[in-house]
Amino acid sequence: MDKWECRVCGYIYDPEMGDSTQNVAPGTPFDKLPDNWVCPICGASKNMFRRIGVKK
């Protein structure tokens, strides 16, 4: 699965890890995150993230 990087603070969203700070289960792809999900570090919205790679 693709990893995504916050362009504001550099946080990496890894779908394999999910986001425990916002009750996002491990295995959740970025495109399946809730619309109101924000970066857990700086609060940036999803549109401030860029795809940085594909995990096979």
- The number of distinct structural domains making up the chain is 1
Q: What is the pLDDT of residue 56?
A: 52
**pLDDT averages per 10-residue partition of the chain, 56 residues:** 96 98 98 97 98 73
Whole-number Cα distances in Å, 2 to 21, 29, 49, 53: 20, 8, 12, 5
CATH number of the structural domain spanning residue 27: 2.20.28.10
Q: What is the pLDDT of residue 54?
A: 63
Q: What is the pLDDT of residue 1?
A: 84
For residue 25, give its domain range: 2-54
